[in-house]
Amino acid sequence: MDFTLTEQQEFFKKVIVDTVDKMVAPKAQEIDEKDEFPWELWKEFTSLGYLGLRYPEEIGGMNADKIMCMTFYEEIARGSVGFAQSVIMNILMGTYFIYRFGSDSIKERCLYPAMRGEKIATMCFTEDQSGSDLGATRTTAVKDGNGWRINGTKMWITNGPICDFCTVLATTDPSKGLKGLDFFLVEKGTPGFSSGQILNKLGCRGTVTGELVFDNVWVPEENLLGEELGKGVNYVGDILDEVRLMTGAMALGIAKGAYNEGLEFARKRVAFGQPIGNYQLIREKFADMDTLMNAARLMIYYGAWMLENGMDSRLIAAEAKMFATEVCLKVVDEVTRIYGANAFAYEYTPQRYFRDARFLLYGGGTHEVLKDFIGRSIIGKL
């Protein structure tokens, strides 16, 4: 078993760490406090080409492998998870189906500008009554001439209120449940497409998250993203493992950011005549945190390696997402304890990590859903 990064992977890691340290991390506190989309940072960061991370070089991408992608997700979340969410939505979920199924004209209008940071993309799954339960999707798409008529409301949409286009999950046959779901492209300016409520979130601030409304929206036939009607849930499955591993990598990034600051604080904070890092109970916290983070990292990157090599990664992706996000919660909590009362003040960063960590519990499947899936995968149907 060889855990060594290739020369290319090692170089990429050094570059992205340096980029995040210089460009993203110094603005994290400001992004959180203002809770406004950082347009200037977006322009500066996206000019470096990272939004094409997953896509082939011949269309302007970086053609990064899954290990490099996880490194990117981890490091940018370490810098600012609020900014990271907007960036990763463009890189992964917001453009995946357009790259896979979009016509040449759609790619010219949407994919390529999104890879350059000129347009902002999003993915619309969630509704008020349906998060993990995609079978409860109420947004409908009805055939209308040489196109489709879409009606419904989506909630908790990352980048939603500022997006230039979105990929919408809708039911084309409600009687078929999961087998009646399909994806459609809807672009900004389409009559009937609008932004509704903007959510004021506890954490992951700076990412604009909210409601999108589809009121009798008509799109042409080419905007149906798929090769066969009713296969939308299958297409979700094709990307779900990467989404779960990505979420785990982001959790690891948050944990690492909190851990590093807690370590610096423990070395400098003096109590009873010596740095608190000299006390056994504080050292024990770092021993536990470091062990858990290393275990989470092994799971995430093992899952990425399986994904890269075409292996069945469903179980490890679910386990890695669940474990890494729980590790993140443990680490950020311990760091707040190391900081003591200072962690309760907005002037110090632990409170931001503490708030940000909660949101990753839900994306890619709640832990209740994941545990049920993992258990069924192990036991089988009795």
Does domain 233-379 fall under CATH 2.60.120.10? My reply is no
Q: Kindly provide the residue ranges of all beta strands, DSSP E only, lying in the chain, ordered along the sequence.
A: 121-124, 140-144, 147-158, 165-171, 181-187, 193-198, 209-220, 224-225, 270-271, 274-275
Report the pLDDT averaged over residues 80-93: 97
CB contact set of 165 (below 8 Å; sequence gap of 6+)? 98, 109, 110, 114, 119, 121, 122, 185, 186, 187, 188
184 pLDDT above the threshold of 70: yes
Q: Token match 């994306």: residue?
A: 363
> What secondary structure letter does DSSP report for 6?
P
Output the six-digit token pair for 99: 């790259």
Domain 121-230 is of which CATH architecture?
Beta Barrel (2.40)
Question: Other C-beta atoms within 10 Å of 123: how many?
Answer: 26
Decide if 121-230 and 233-379 have a common fold.
no
pLDDT > 90: percent of the chain? 95
pLDDT tens sequence across 312-352 = 999 999 999 999 999 999 999 999 999 999 999 999 999 99
Q: Break the chain into its structural domains and give their ranges.
A: 7-115, 121-230, 233-379
**86 CB burial (10 A radius; 0-12, 13-18, 19+):** buried
**251 CB burial (10 A radius; 0-12, 13-18, 19+):** buried
Q: Please give the model's pTM, rounded to 2 decimal places.
A: 0.96
pLDDT tens sequence across 215-253 = 999 999 999 999 999 999 999 999 999 999 999 999 999
Question: What's the mean per-residue pLDDT of the chain?
Answer: 96
Q: Could you give the count of Cα atoms lying within 13 Å of 155 in the half-sphere of its Cβ? A: 11
pLDDT value of position 382: 66
Kindly indicate the confidence band of residue 63, based on its pLDDT and cuts at 50, 70 and 90: very high
Measured distance CA(370)–CA(56) in Å, rounded? 32
pLDDT tens sequence across 255-294 = 999 999 999 999 999 999 999 999 999 999 999 999 999 9
CATH number of 7-115: 1.10.540.10
pLDDT value of position 1: 84
